[in-house]
Amino acid sequence: MSVGIIGAGAFGTALGLSLARKGPVDLWARDAEQVAAMRDTREHAKHLPGVPLPGTLRPSADFDHTAKNDILLLAVPMQQLRRVVSDHAEILTGKTLVACCKGVELQSGLGAAAVIADLLPDARIALLTGPSFATDVARGLPTALTLACADEALGQVLQRDLTTTNLRLYRTSDVIGAELGGALKNVIAIACGAVIGAGLGDSARAALLTRGYAEMQRMAIARGARPETLAGLSGLGDLVLTCTSDHSRNYRLGLSLGRGEAFDPSITVEGAATARAVAQEAARSGLDMPITHAVVGLLDTDLTINDAMADLLSRPLKEE
Ligand SMILES: NC(=O)c1ccc[n+]([C@@H]2O[C@H](COP(=O)([O-])OP(=O)(O)OC[C@H]3O[C@@H](n4cnc5c(N)ncnc54)[C@H](O)[C@@H]3O)[C@@H](O)[C@H]2O)c1
Ligand SMILES: O=P(O)(O)OC[C@H](O)CO
């Protein structure tokens, strides 16, 4: 089946590069100048400099042309997903749409697949998530991802069609678990970056990563996810990658917070809005999400990193 990608940022372009090894892929960007530059230079200079774009990857500023493909991957930032889908709802109705965003929508508390379902009840929806830096995917390095789809038959088709020589896709029908694993790991990565940035040490990071994983499970299970999904690529796998690598933008935001440095607000950091959305839901439902609350406190500058750690360390002692 033919593939089109909506969103020519780092990840959309990287997925396009990988999939274009199997056949033609249309890649839509809203910015016609960016499309012209990609066509002329055969490079995505801003996000993937030095990686040549093959002729089978076809940048386009024509949404409707790209949307004619059988499978559409949506690779825009989470907080922009509703706008992109609703702006093009007519042409997207009934299509096979694979959300590639990681986050929880601030206004609704929904994950990526749920936002699409909210807008397009007739769409055939799946989610592609898991540990994968765009630079690795673009360079053809080995990567394993999770393809989540409630419709098992469609999930099998997508798993086959979106697997490439360097992208190996595992399949699950637990869309909520996959969605929340990919979203919540970004919040914990900000926390881990902050402790490393503040010089609090690798042991503190290991504690946050592990207790953060418990927090991710708590929220995901409360929303109906299966625990084993959180233990897979979309949860634990992506948590480990994002909490331990300077390549992660979420982790790097945390490093800046810990060091008291400014961070470029134009960089896509999904964990910031997701932390706020999750903290709001936790407050409503009474779920215990102390690390998420600490991250919101750091982002809002209500807390210093030392206050946040002191709060976490002084919580009542409990069983693990
Ligand atoms: N970069 C990675 O390594 C990576 C890996 C896995 C998943 N993801 C996920 O992919 C999603 C996109 O991230 P990214 O890294 O590609 O971000 P990015 O900042 O590199 O690119 C985002 C792209 O979306 C476009 N965009 C923003 N708002 C838009 C709108 N309203 N309409 C049309 N286009 C719009 C921007 O112009 C930009 O090209 C995020 O949810 C992220 O978590 C990223
Ligand atoms: O750069 P980040 O922090 O958005 O992480 C990118 C991917 O989600 C890693 O799997």
d(CA 26, CA 5): 6
Give the Å distances, CA to CA, from 147 to 130, 133, 157, 169, 250: 9, 16, 10, 6, 22
d(CA 263, CA 256): 6
Reading the block at residue 305, the tokens are 């990193």
d(CA 209, CA 136): 23
Beta-carbon count within 10 A of 85 CB:
22
Q: Give the model's pLDDT for residue 94.
A: 94
Cα(27) to ligand 1 centroid in Å equals 13
The atom of ligand 2 lying closest to the CA of 251 is 3
Give the Å distances, CA to CA, from 159 to 24, 64, 193, 195: 18, 25, 33, 37
The finding on whether 272 has its CB within 6 A of some atom of ligand 2 is: no
Q: Give the model's pLDDT for residue 133.
A: 98
Q: Give the model's pLDDT for residue 54.
A: 97
Question: How far apart, in Å, do the first and last CA atoms of the chain sit?
Answer: 47
The finding on whether 234 has its CB within 6 A of some atom of ligand 2 is: no
The atom of ligand 1 lying closest to the CA of 137 is 3
Judged on CB neighbours under 10 Å (0-12, 13-18, 19+), 262 is exposed
Ligand number nearest CA of 235 is 2
The annotation status of 297 as a binding-site residue, yes or no, is no
Q: Give the model's pLDDT for residue 191.
A: 98
The annotation status of 32 as a binding-site residue, yes or no, is no
- Asked whether 240 and 131 are in contact (CB, 8 A), the reply is yes
Q: Ligand 1 atom 11: the closest Cα is on which residue?
A: 101
What would the 3-class secondary structure string for the chain be? Answer: CCEEEECCCHHHHHHHHHHCCCCCEEEECCCHHHHHHHHHHCCECCCECCCCCCCCEEEECCHHHHCCCCEEEECCCHHHHHHHHHHCHHHHCCCEEEECCCCECCCCCCEHHHHHHHHCCCCEEEEEECCCCHHHHHCCCCEEEEEECCCHHHHHHHHHHHCCCCEEEEEECCHHHHHHHHHHHHHHHHHHHHHHHCCCCHHHHHHHHHHHHHHHHHHHHHCCCCHHHHCCHHHHHHHHHHHHCCCCHHHHHHHHHHHCCCCCCCCCCHHHHHHHHHHHHHHHHCCCCHHHHHHHHHHCCCCCHHHHHHHHHCCCCCCC
Q: Ligand 1 atom 37: the closest Cα is on which residue?
A: 9
The finding on whether 133 has its CB within 6 A of some atom of ligand 2 is: yes
The annotation status of 68 as a binding-site residue, yes or no, is no
The atom of ligand 1 lying closest to the CA of 80 is 31
- Sheet arrangement for strand 143-148: 57-60, 25-28, 3-6, 71-74, 96-99, 124-129, 143-148, 167-172
Q: Give the model's pLDDT for residue 201.
A: 97
Q: Ligand 1 atom 24: the closest Cα is on which residue?
A: 76
Q: Give the model's pLDDT for residue 26.
A: 98
Q: Catalytic residues, which ones?
A: 185
Reading the block at residue 258, the tokens are 């810990």
Ligand 1 pocket, residues with Cβ under 6 angstroms: 7-12, 29-30, 47, 75-78, 80, 83-84, 100-103, 132-134, 268, 270
Task: Return per-residue pLDDT of the chain as tens, 320 residues.
Answer: 999 999 999 999 999 999 999 999 999 999 999 999 999 999 999 999 999 999 999 999 999 999 999 999 999 999 999 999 999 999 999 999 999 999 999 999 999 999 999 999 999 999 999 999 999 999 999 999 999 999 999 999 999 999 999 999 999 999 999 999 999 999 999 999 999 999 999 999 999 999 999 999 999 999 999 999 999 999 999 999 999 999 999 999 999 999 999 999 999 999 999 999 999 999 999 999 999 999 999 999 999 999 999 999 989 899 98
